[in-house]
């Protein structure tokens, strides 16, 4: 090609090219326009549902079209920001108020009455609701999205894997995984000192534990690769639903596809093993084998898509919330040395008793029952830092609460964080005080595991996981936080980012 022609083409191409700033401007303009059109549609459709006979709850729908969506998404990025957003609204409008999220009217319910109304009326006046980004990320067959009899049938089927007998069978494996975790990821030499970020290292333990339970998948490169995709997926649950390259939601949708491919390979392999009668003794006990071989009460096996979506749900239930709860428990123990000393006494007494009876140190269910103070510490952590900050329901008909009219298709919000910090629900709510759990809380005020017919399926498994972990931790380590006033972020669950200082110890009998 001659020089003149090259120059002409170059000149033509440069004329079509845009500066990087112009590209960004056009890109953002398209995003904003698409978002406004979507919000305008949802807001307009919601407008015709806001007319009701009677007085609507006080509050404001915020900015036209977008409402309080942006402020809310920014606020939930940290523990303090979320509580300030709530406190500002409550101070202005009272404990029951309306606002707008993603173009939809939402009513925040007050504890405990509003939460009781929400949980006891599902299937009557209300049904479960998840924001649009969660619906696409969970999958159509997830139990999270099922309604009515379909939900009840699937819940009864999955509940069989988390009853007392099942938890007892899982205990040995969880205990073994915790011991291996400490030997691999925590210094285990007497009086050695080191630092680590609790959430980061605990995530490896909890993800390995739940993958072991679900699919007999052990810790290693394969699991770490799986974890990376899972974290990308999880980060999309509370983000703005912008499905364009570079945005969190876009990455989360791609991660879901990768996760489904990974799960698909495990399902295919296990199906072959079942058909050929060569399932290992260990795999016979995991949930995947049971989902493939044990029919529900109607005599039907779950479809592959239902297995994929509900394995994903169980991964969340056994990983994200437990990782957060354990990491935050370690943070609060590190800030309160007297709590650590009382924990040491409780776990030393368990070891002393076992050795006096001539038993080895392996934990059994009776030992977990003796960890009363440990569970109180975990409960107090879950009160201050609930892994899930809010739950939503949708009205299926016009209804009324405390004299306020709530139209059909409005969303009701059970604000867990607000309840856990309410002076009318908990005395001195800002204080970390495990002893408050010597008495049961007021009903419908403490909800780290949800409530009603959608209470977390794996609550007893999570409790067992956490008790076993804390038992081995206090046997091996003493620690302190590097910054007691560190800001707690929500990404999407509560966690800290700074290290703790650890000294390895050996608990003597």
Known binding site for heme: residues?
456
Residue 413 Ramachandran class (φ > 0 left, ψ -120 to 50 alpha, else beta): beta
User: If you ran DSSP here, which 8-state letter would residue 191 be given?
Assistant: T
How many Å apart are CA 335 and CA 361, to the nearest integer?
29
Distance of CA 151 to the CA centre of its chain: 20
Q: Is 207 exposed, middle or buried (0-12, 13-18, 19+ CB in 10 A)?
A: buried
Nearest to 389 by CA among 361, 414, 353, 364: 414
Helix (H) or strand (E) holding 132: helix 132-138
The 3-state DSSP class for residue 363 equals coil
CA distance 386 to 456: 13
Annotated binding site: 456
The 10 Å CB-count burial string (b at 16+, else e) for 118-129 is: bbebbbebbebb
Radius of gyration of the chain (CA): 25
- Work out whether the CA dihedral 436, 440, 441, 446 comes out positive or negative: positive
Rounded Cα distance between 440 and 381, Å, is 15
60: which 2 tokens?
A: 């404001």
- C-alpha 322/C-alpha 206 separation (Å) is 7
CB 132 within 8 A of CB 239: no
| Contact between 46 and 409 (Cβ < 8 Å) | yes
What are the Cα distances from residue 390, in Å, to 82, 225, 229, 449? Answer: 11, 30, 25, 11
DSSP for 230-271, written as a single string: HHHHHHTTTS----STTSHHHHHHHHHHHHHHHHHHHHHHHH
Cβ-count burial of 287 within 10 angstroms (0-12 exposed, 13-18 middle, 19+ buried)? buried
């Amino acid at each position: 090609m001659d020089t003149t022609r090259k120059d002409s083409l170059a000149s033509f191409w440069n004329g079509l090219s845009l500066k990087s700033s112009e590209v960004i401007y056009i890109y953002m303009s398209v995003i904003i326009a698409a978002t406004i059109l979507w919000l305008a549609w949802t807001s307009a459709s919601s407008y015709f549902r806001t007319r009701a006979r009677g007085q609507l709850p006080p509050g404001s729908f915020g900015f036209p079209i977008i409402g309080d969506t942006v402020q809310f998404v920014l606020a939930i990025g940290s523990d303090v920001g979320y509580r300030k957003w709530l406190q500002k609204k409550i101070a202005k409008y009272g404990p029951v108020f309306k606002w707008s999220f993603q173009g939809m009217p939402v009513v925040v319910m007050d504890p405990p009455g509003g939460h009781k109304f929400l949980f006891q009326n599902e299937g009557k006046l209300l049904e479960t609701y998840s924001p649009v980004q969660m619906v696409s990320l969970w999958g159509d067959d997830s139990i999270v999205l099922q309604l009515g009899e379909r939900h009840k049938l699937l819940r009864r089927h999955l509940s069989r894997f988390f009853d007392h007998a099942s938890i007892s069978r899982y205990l040995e494996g969880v205990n073994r995984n915790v011991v291996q975790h400490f030997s691999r990821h925590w210094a285990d030499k007497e009086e050695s000192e080191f630092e680590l970020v609790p959430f980061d290292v605990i995530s490896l333990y909890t993800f390995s534990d739940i993958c072991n339970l679900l699919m007999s998948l052990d810790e290693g490169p394969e699991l770490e690769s799986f974890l990376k995709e899972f974290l990308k997926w999880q980060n999309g649950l509370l983000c703005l639903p912008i499905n364009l390259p570079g945005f969190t939601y876009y990455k989360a949708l791609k991660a879901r596809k990768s996760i489904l491919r990974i799960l698909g390979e495990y399902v295919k392999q296990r199906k072959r093993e079942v058909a050929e009668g060569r399932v290992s003794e260990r795999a016979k006990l995991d949930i995947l084998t049971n989902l493939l071989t044990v029919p529900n009460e109607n005599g039907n096996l779950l479809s592959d898509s239902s297995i994929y979506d509900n394995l994903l749900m169980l991964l969340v239930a056994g990983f994200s919330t437990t990782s957060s709860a354990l990491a935050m428990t370690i943070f609060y123990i590190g800030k309160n040395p007297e709590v650590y000393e009382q924990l040491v006494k409780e776990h030393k007494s368990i070891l002393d008793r076992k050795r006096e009876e001539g038993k080895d140190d392996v934990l059994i269910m009776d030992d977990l029952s003796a960890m009363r103070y440990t569970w109180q510490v975990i409960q107090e952590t879950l009160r201050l830092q609930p892994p899930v900050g809010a739950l939503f329901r949708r009205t299926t008909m016009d209804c009324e609460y405390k004299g306020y009219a709530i139209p059909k298709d409005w969303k009701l919000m059970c604000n867990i964080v607000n309840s856990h910090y309410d002076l009318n629900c908990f005395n001195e709510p800002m204080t970390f005080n495990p002893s408050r759990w010597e008495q049961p809380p007021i009903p419908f005020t403490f909800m780290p595991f949800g409530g009603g017919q959608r209470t977390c399926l794996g609550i007893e498994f999570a409790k067992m996981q956490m008790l076993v972990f804390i038992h081995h931790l206090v046997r091996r380590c003493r620690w302190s936080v590097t910054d007691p006033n560190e800001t707690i972020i929500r990404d999407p669950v509560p966690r800290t980012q700074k290290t703790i200082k650890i000294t390895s110890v050996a608990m003597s009998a």
